[in-house]
Structure 1
Amino acid sequence: MIASVRGPVGHVGLDHVVVEVGGVGMLVHTTPATAAGCHRGQEATLATSLVVREDSLTLYGFDERSERDMFETVQTVSGVGPRLALAMLSVMGPDELAGALTRGDTKALTAVPGIGAKSAQRLVLELKDKVAAIHGTGGGPAPAGPAAPSAEPWREQVTEALVGLGWTTKQAGDAVEAVAGGAPADADVAAYLRLALRELRR
């Protein structure tokens, strides 16, 4: 298993980064917050989880080992795969997710696309005790990335990221419209994505 990667960042997307390791560019899928904390040309260290399928090897990366542990723990529940696990951490963050599970807050869990009331109840039932060991992940707001060159390109990028997390194109588009005027003029794409995620949880 690839437990971590470290090296200069070659590319930063909204939900992925490419880390150069020994001359090889490794594509690492991340939460938007983790991606926003990475900057091209700067060195990054990510705790990783390698998901092996018959036809693919997919690497997921996180700021902290405890966040990676949460990612792997929620996948022990039947029906929760890496995409849904990453969506959970993207929408809620590790601390909030752990808190919701330990409190049995099913309403908060259903804010994640793909999780209904029954799924939320099953998550709480199976994970309430397991998350105690990894609860309390630190980490403040992710550093802002480079500012978007204009007001319009961020719309398509944020919509694409939201659809990738599981929302419909219409839901993503409505959220983008709702937050279009809610960020400073020099806000970057990651800032708009965070605003859209909050809007979708209302």
Structure 2
Amino acid sequence: MIASLSGTVQMLRLDSAVVEVGGVGYLLHATPATLATLRVGAQASLSTSLVVREDSMTLFAFADDDERSVFEAAQTVSGVGPRLALAMLAVLTPNALRRALASGDLKALTRVPGIGQKGAQRLVLELGDKLGHPVDDEAAGVSGSAARELAGDQRERVSEALVGLGWSTKVADDAITTVLGDLGVDHVAAADVPSILRSSLKVLGGHRG
């Protein structure tokens, strides 16, 4: 099993990256948040999980070992494959997922594309005990001031993620403004960063600016 990779980022796409290690380019599928931390030409170190099928071998990449562990644990639930497990991490951080499972927050779980009410209930039943207990922000390494900052407007985080994927700051900001206007809100809440990022990507439609 390929548990990690360290190398030079050769290419960035909306849902994947190519990292060259020892002259070999590895295609890595990842969440927008993970991809936003990468830069073409820069060095990167990522935790990975190799999913082997009869006709394919697919590598998924993660910012840290905790995300990879959650990704692999999620696939033990009936009906959850690697793509859906990755979508869960695109919407919820590992700790947010733990909190949703521990509290039975079906609304939070159904925010993940592909998970309905029954699927959310199945996750609570089958996955809750496998991920451990959620930790508070302090235990997760977030200071009190940082936690308060995360509770404010997170527009800049979304903008930085889009810029990291190849768009100019102006194009990114215009897309975010469009999404917020459609939603009738004037700021990005911390919990909504993944969904606002996905919606902004849809507005941009893959066209770099």
Alignment match, 1:101: 101
CA shift for structure 1 position 14: 2.1
Return the letter of the residue paired with 1:151.
V
For 1:104 and 1:6, the matched residues in 2 are separated by 37
CA shift for structure 1 position 178: 2.8
Cα–Cα, structure 1 residues 197 and 95, in superposed 2: closer, same or farther, change >3 Å?
farther
Unmatched 5+ stretches in structure 1: 159-173, 184-191
Cα–Cα, structure 1 residues 133 and 53, in superposed 2: closer, same or farther, change >3 Å?
farther
For 2:67 and 2:141, the matched residues in 1 are separated by 9
Unmatched 5+ stretches in structure 2: 143-149, 151-156, 188-192, 201-209
Any idea what SS the aligned residue of 1:113 has?
coil
Alignment match, 1:178: 182
Map 1:29-178 onto structure 2 (within 5 A): 29-132=29-132, 144=161, 145-146=163-164, 148-149=167-168, 151=171, 178=182
Identity score, percent: 50
Q: Answer yes or no: is the 8 Å Cα contact 1:101–1:131 preserved in 2.
A: no
Q: Answer yes or no: is the 8 Å Cα contact 2:6–2:44 preserved in 1.
A: yes
Any idea what SS the aligned residue of 2:61 has?
strand
Q: Deviations over 1:6-54 (max 9, x none)?
A: 0010011222111101101100000000000000111101100000011
Instruction: Report the TM-score, using the length of structure 2 for normalisation.
Output: 0.70
Q: Answer yes or no: is the 8 Å Cα contact 1:102–1:131 preserved in 2.
A: no
Alignment match, 1:169: none
Return the letter of the residue paired with 1:13.
R
CA shift for structure 1 position 93: 2.1
Q: Deviations over 1:131-166 (max 9, x none)?
A: 1168676688696444624639x97xx9xxxxxxxx
CA shift for structure 1 position 71: 0.2
What is the number of equivalent residue pairs in this alignment?
175
For 2:78 and 2:86, the matched residues in 1 are separated by 15
Q: Answer yes or no: is the 8 Å Cα contact 2:75–2:81 preserved in 1.
A: yes
Q: Deviations over 1:54-88 (max 9, x none)?
A: 11100000010010000000100010000000011
Instruction: Report the TM-score, using the length of structure 1 for normalisation.
Output: 0.73
RMSD: 3.5
